[in-house]
Amino acid sequence: MGILGLIRRFFEGNRKEEDGNMFIIVGLGNPEKKYFKTRHNVGFTVIDHLSDKYGIGLTETRFKAAFGKGRIGDHKVVLVKPLTYMNLSGEAVAPICNYFKVDPKEKLIVISDDVELDVGRLRIRPKGSSGGHNGLKNIIALLGSDEFSRVRVGVGKKPGQWDMVDWVLGHFEGEDEKLIEESTKRACDAVVEIMENGTESAMNRFNGNK
């Protein structure tokens, strides 16, 4: 084996030690600037908070996603924003999980909006259906499993006269804007709690709280 082969083997071996031993943290949203801070993009907002707080820049763009590697406490993490638009989120999440060789049941955390929850409330689950959320539905379909942790952030129920698309693509106003800012920061704390002590502990601490 030549010197280049030995070098390649060395780095591949090191990478195998790293692979599978990190959390993939995905925030769901739509990538265009006009969707910034809409109800549907609270997952992106949580990733922004984590990125700022822990100094993890999303500088790589592969697998139909923007992502960055870093550490949160003792844990290696990959922060991810799919660039596929919401309904095709699985086209980014599944390849990233495969590339880093993580078990979604143990190491994937997905953050999304929830129109069934009051603004500011969190709902954390270790598995389950999509609950009608198209981004989660696509991830479940392409992973072939609904067993992964998710942090859902309440954005408020649609008023009767509103179309659902207009509602989720609308922006927060007034008191709701303050509530969502606080809740997205608590969602960051919930993500850390999942990594540190497990999903059940995070459920006990954060579910239903404002």
% of residues, the chain, pLDDT over 90:
72
CATH architecture of structural domain 19-206: 3-Layer(aba) Sandwich (3.40)
Task: Write down the mean pLDDT value for the chain.
Answer: 89
Q: Please, are residues 202 and 194 in contact by the beta-carbon 8 Å criterion?
A: yes
Which of 128-132, 156-160, 179-183 is modeled with the greatest confidence? Answer: 179-183
Of 161 and 142, the structure prediction assigns the larger pLDDT to 142
What confidence category does residue 7 fall into, taking pLDDT thresholds of 50, 70 and 90?
very low
Contact of 143 with 90, CB cutoff 8 Å:
yes
Per-residue pLDDT band for 168 (boundaries 50, 70, 90) equals: confident
Mean of the pLDDT values across residues 102-128? 94
Q: Tell me, yes or no, if 75 is annotated catalytic.
A: no
Which distant-in-sequence residues (6+ apart) come within 8 Å of 170 by Cβ? Answer: 38, 39
Determine the average pLDDT of the residues in 45-70: 96
Q: Output the CA–CA distances (angstroms, integers) from residue 103 to 51, 109, 205, in the order listed.
A: 23, 11, 25
pLDDT at 158: 83
Model confidence at 6, pLDDT cuts 50, 70, 90, reads very low
Closest-CA residue to 69 (of 59, 80, 78): 78
Contact 164, 39 (CB under 8 A): no
Residue tagged active-site, from 40, 49, 75, 133: 40
Across the range 173-201, mean pLDDT stands at: 94
Strand pairing partners for 70? 77
Domain spans, the chain: 19-206
Task: Count helices and strands (H / E) in the chain.
Answer: 8, 7
| Res. 13 pLDDT band, cuts 50 70 90 | very low
pLDDT of residue 17 exceeding 90, the answer is: no
Judged against a pLDDT cut of 80, whether residue 14 lies above it is answered with no
Asked if 100 contacts 22 with a C-beta cutoff of 8 angstroms, the reply is yes
